[in-house]
Amino acid sequence: MDGLCLAGGRDITSPVRGSEYGVQSSNISESANSVLERERSGNWLEAIDGILKKMSLCIQASREKYEGKTGVVKRVYPQILDRWEKGIGYRVVDSGGDGQRYSVHRIIEGNAGSNQSFTLNWVDGVCECGGWQMHGVPCVHGMAYFRWQNDWTLQQVVEQFVEKCHTYIYEQKLYSGSFVPVCMDMLQPDQMTLPPDVEGKRMAGRPKTVRLRLRSRYSHQPVKSPIVCSRCHQRGHNARTCQRRAALAKNTGNADTAQNSNSVL
């Protein structure tokens, strides 16, 4: 399971932009297909049984992996630490006067968009950049505020402002349950669920109903039609629907009769 979440070498919870979404989803699909390669080639009953067995093993392995651990999960903590270090390069200005809303912008200038300011409400956990409320982790602007205050330590920020879904406690709750195996051989028929009637089921093939052909878009402009009649060499119809078919056939027959008469003479 963790292998599928980390497909492509990056965390599935990290932000994905543009074409990276297609690349990441394709990597996850390929990883799932590789894990379930044998199950995909069997019948549906064996496939379901094999998938449940592998998922149960993955859940058991993840349960043992996260057992006894506390705090923020390993894949999220480096992001928090990186934002904490980058927060020192921002300036914080009290813009609301109420001790809740602040304007945060970078001190170092020169890069494109470096002078852009973002409004932060640290009490509600809302930043104008959208990063805090999207991921449940204080963004770099929130970390800049906490560093500017000098009253917060990194440990306090992690404990109070990082969503609990990023902690090992929730990981342990997630993997606390598992699938209950069912022995298919012990199941008795309920006399209600019956297989479909094979005799009354039409096999795959050509449809029995007459298909209504759509009106050609060149019907009102036959000159532009790509269809050319092989008899009269006009556009807009074929030899089967040619209106001059009978006349051309009669002329062709007369010409053949005259040619045969000349040959006899």
Tell me the whole-structure pTM to 2 decimals. 0.54
d(CA 192, CA 103): 68
Q: What is the pLDDT of residue 248?
A: 77
The mean pLDDT of 74-89, rounded to a whole number, is 90
Are the C-beta atoms of residues 224 and 218 closer than 8 Å to each other?
yes
Q: By mean pLDDT, which of 1-5, 130-134, 161-165, 217-221 is the weakest?
A: 1-5
In tens, the pLDDT along 218-262 reads 667 777 788 888 888 888 888 888 888 878 777 766 655 555 555
Q: What is the pLDDT of residue 8?
A: 39
pLDDT band at 163 (very low <50, low <70, confident <90, very high): very high
Are the C-beta atoms of residues 170 and 75 closer than 8 Å to each other?
no
Q: Which amino acid is at 57?
A: L
Kindly report the average pLDDT of the chain as a whole number: 78
Q: What is the pLDDT of residue 184?
A: 64
In tens, the pLDDT along 111-152 reads 555 567 889 999 999 999 889 999 899 999 999 999 998 888
> Looking up tokens 């006399």, which residue turns up?
191
pLDDT value at 159 more than 80 = yes
Express as a percent the part of the chain with pLDDT over 70: 71
The mean pLDDT of 77-81, rounded to a whole number, is 91
In tens, the pLDDT along 40-51 reads 777 777 788 888
Residue 247, token pair as written in the block: 């006349």
Q: By mean pLDDT, which of 99-108, 151-160, 163-172, 216-225 is the weakest?
A: 216-225
Q: What is the pLDDT of residue 26?
A: 82
